[in-house]
Structure 1
Amino acid sequence: MAEQSAGLPSQRQVIDLLAGEFARAGYDLEDVVVDAAARPPRVTVVADGDKGLDLDAIAELSRLASGILDDLDSQAYVLEVTSPGVDRPLTTDTHYRRAQGRLVELALADGSTLAGRLGELRGATVDVVVRDGPRRALSVREVPREDIVKAVVQVEFSSPSPRELELAGQTGKHSEP
């Protein structure tokens, strides 16, 4: 692989060098953004895992990435390892699986929106726990994935009820906002 002397590593270089190492550590490399226009230049590595990323995981991945990328002959840059954040749309089965039990807002193909707690992903459908009717009773709605135009996790400020988590398939687990 030809390195760019005095330049920044390319997105492809960073992905090629880090994806396997991140996977061995139990994390997925979701995205890499190389921003040469920033001062100082910045390489942002977005990672995720089944249990999310806490500060210890980010520190571990930062050390791992730094150790690998420091061997490149490139100009100085700031390396940032981060999680995708709640504003990232859910686009893959892995995203949906990791977000199970979280509050989501779905934009549907018919132009409507649906807010609820994400339940199980089963093949081509996803369960969403919603509050329906005048009494706002909890129910599970099956939504075909092909009907979902956009799905985004929402920020929560209060804990969901145990019944809501149970319907979302999170019995015995706790939801972290």
Structure 2
Amino acid sequence: MSTTQSERLRELLEPLVTAQGLDLEEIAVETVGRKRSLRVVVDSDSGADLDRIADVSRALSAKLDETDAMGDTPYDLEVGTPGAERLLTEERHYRRAADRLVALRLTDGTELVARILTVDAEGIDTEVPGVKGRRATARRIAFADIEKARVQVEFNRKDKKDMTEEEEA
């Protein structure tokens, strides 16, 4: 997809996504054989439930139908949210990942897994889990020092509520 088409689609669709209280995270046009699909990824600080996704999908579909932004060739429109192991590239992504475990690769080549505690305009405060019975350690990481960050899936993760109840017992 050319940069001009991507920019044109973003300019066309972003106001509709924003009007639904969501952020437009990604736009991708994929062609497989004769089939094309337009994938639109949206999110918000409070998440996006199925009703919001359906509403924004209808709004985008109507707008695309009234314009020639996708040309005359048929295509499928897919609207969804970022995956479970999303890349973190913007401050808002880190905010939304607060209390989650993330894998980080720093600009100095260091790789670590840490839980995001707080986020501000300059970086993140994390808790690095202890290894072999050692205590977890706090670490401040500036955004400028992060090369790549990805949310990790936690199957046995305890909610804050569960941890508080255990502490009280």
Q: TM-score, normalised by structure 1?
A: 0.78
Identity between Structure 1 and Structure 2 (%): 38
2:111 corresponds to 1:101: no
How many residue pairs align between the two structures?
158
Partner residue of 1:124?
Answer: 122
Aligned partner of residue 41 in structure 1, secondary structure? strand
- From the superposition, tell whether residues 125 and 35 of structure 1 become closer, same or farther in structure 2 (CA, over 3 Å): closer
- From the superposition, tell whether residues 27 and 117 of structure 1 become closer, same or farther in structure 2 (CA, over 3 Å): same
Aligned partner of residue 10 in structure 1, secondary structure? helix
Contact 2:16 2:56 in 1 (8 A): no
Structure 2: how far apart are the matches of 1:152 and 1:97? Answer: 13
- From the superposition, tell whether residues 35 and 134 of structure 1 become closer, same or farther in structure 2 (CA, over 3 Å): closer
Which of the residues 130, 137, 159 maps onto 1:139?
A: 137
Unaligned runs of at least 5 residues, structure 2: 165-169
Structure 1: how far apart are the matches of 2:121 and 2:10? Answer: 29
1:9-67 C-alpha deviation (Å, 9 max, x unpaired)? 93233211210111111101112112244542111111111122232222121111111
2:70 corresponds to 1:72: no
1:26-175 matches, cutoff 5 A: 26-73=21-68, 74-132=72-130, 134-160=132-158, 162=160
> RMSD of the alignment, in Å?
2.5
Aligned partner of residue 70 in structure 1, secondary structure? helix
Contact 1:10 1:34 in 2 (8 A): no
Contact 1:14 1:69 in 2 (8 A): no
Which of the residues 10, 13, 18 maps onto 1:18?
A: 13
Aligned partner of residue 84 in structure 1, secondary structure? coil
Partner residue of 2:167?
Answer: none
Structure 1: how far apart are the matches of 2:139 and 2:28? Answer: 37
Contact 1:11 1:32 in 2 (8 A): yes
- 1 or 2, which has the higher helix percentage? 2
Unaligned runs of at least 5 residues, structure 1: 1-8, 167-177
User: After the TM superposition, which parts of structure 1 deviate over 6 Å for at least 4 consecutive aligned residues?
Assistant: none
Aligned partner of residue 11 in structure 2, secondary structure? helix
Structure 2: how far apart are the matches of 1:85 and 1:121? Answer: 21
